[in-house]
Amino acid sequence: MAKKAKNFELNTGKYSPVQEKAVAAIEEVKTEQKRTERFNFYLTPDNADFLRTVARAKGKTINGYLGEILEEYREQHAEAFTAAKAILETLEKL
C-alpha cells in the first residue's frame, strides 16, 4: 500500500482534490499572465502605504486593487479615453 502524506498519495502520481485545485489555480494564473503586461514604477512612501493598506483591507493584492481602480476610472471616463485614442491615432498618421 502506498504511503500517504498530507494531500498526496506517494508513489502513485495522483493528486488529491486539494492539489488538483492548486494545479488548476496555477494554470489559471499562467493563462492570465499571458494576457497581461508588466509595469515597473516608483511610488512615494505615502502612496505605497495607501495601496498596501487599502488593498489588504479589501482582501486584494496591490495588483488586484490597482486593476479595480483602473477599471472604475475607465468606465467613468470612457468618452475621454475614446477621444484621446482618436486624437493619438490621427497624430500618428501625420
Predicted local distance difference test score (pLDDT) of residue 57: 96
90 and 51: one domain? yes
pLDDT digits (tens, 9 = 90+) for 3-61: 555 555 555 567 777 777 777 777 777 666 667 788 898 999 999 999 999 999 999 99
Note the pLDDT of residue 88: 94
59 and 73 co-located in one domain: yes
State which residues form the domain around 29: 1-36
This prediction has a pTM of: 0.56
SS (H, E, C) 5-68: ECCEECCCCEECHHHHHHHHHHHHHHHHHHCCCCCCCCCCHHHHHHHHHHHHHCCCCHHHHHHH
Structural domains counted in the chain = 2
Q: Are residues 28 and 55 in the same domain?
A: no
Give the model's pLDDT for residue 5.
52
Task: Report pLDDT digits (tens) over 50-75.
Answer: 999 999 999 999 988 999 999 999 99
- Same domain for 94 and 63: yes
